[in-house]
Amino acid sequence: MMTKNLYNVAVVGATGAVGQQMLKTLEEREFPIDTLKLLSSARSAGKEIKFKGKSYQVEEAKPESFEGIDIALFSAGGSVSKALAQEAADRGAIVIDNTSAFRMDPNVPLVVPEVNEADLHTHNGIIANPNCSTIQMVVALEPIRQKMGLKKLSYPPIKLCQEQERLRLMNYMNRLKLV
């Protein structure tokens, strides 16, 4: 994609929590937007969302929604990304996918800019990013990797830890009821 002064941007999943945060970040960072298209499911189509003081109507995400779009930010679930990300890329958009849909695809770069920014230049229209806890971890570990040559890291998944904590709490609550 050529460097432009202003970009045509689509946010897929604009009514969800992550989509709302994407919009907030775009606004806070004063990202240079020419046109903004807010996309979501048919159920959310028609809703109004404010961005930089202007009201935008949410549209249903369809393949033709990406005509003329330069950058498409996806965060509407893996099934939506699987169905529409390639459609967006085929229409010329660079897709940044925030779902699990492409994280394990060897043909899609998995990018954390603070760690492997060069991989941004190897995409075929779609760029994936890891989940939020992984991003924080690899950013923190990158200086260690650079200095000491870290090659592999094993750790229990965050969700597993949260589930174990939930079970411990439930066990504790059940013991309180017995007293």
Lowest mean pLDDT, pick from 61-70, 78-87, 121-130, 138-147? 138-147
For residue 110, the model assigns a pLDDT of 94
Average pLDDT over residues 93-97: 98
Strand-pair category, 126-128 with 48-51: unpaired
For residue 134, the model assigns a pLDDT of 82
Rg (CA), the chain: 20
Q: Is the pLDDT of residue 26 over 60?
A: yes
Pairwise pLDDT comparison (164 vs 59), residue with the higher score? 59
DSSP per position, the chain: ----SSEEEEEETTTSHHHHHHHHHHHHTT--EEEEEEEE-TTTTT-EEEETTEEEE-EE--GGGGTT-SEEEE-S-HHHHHHHHHHHHHTTPEEEE-SSTTTT-TTS-B--HHHHGGGGGG-SSEEE---HHHHHHHHHHHHHHHHH---------HHHHHHHHHHHHHHHHHHHHH-
Pairwise pLDDT comparison (127 vs 155), residue with the higher score? 127
Average confidence score pLDDT of the chain: 90
Say how many residues make up the chain.
Answer: 179
For residue 59, the model assigns a pLDDT of 98
Sign of CA dihedral 81, 76, 162, 144: positive
For residue 172, the model assigns a pLDDT of 67
Average pLDDT over residues 161-176: 68
Band of residue 159 on the pLDDT scale cut at 50, 70, 90: low
Q: Is the pLDDT of residue 78 over 80?
A: yes
For residue 163, the model assigns a pLDDT of 66
Q: Are 32 and 7 in contact (CB under 8 A)?
A: yes
Q: How far is CA 64 from CA 10, 27, 123, 127, 128, in A?
A: 12, 25, 22, 20, 22
Residue 55: strand, helix, or coil: strand
Cα 6 off chain centre by: 21
User: pTM of whole model > 0.85?
Assistant: no
Q: Is the pLDDT of residue 179 over 50?
A: no
* Terminal Cα-to-Cα distance of the chain (whole angstroms): 66
For residue 157, the model assigns a pLDDT of 63
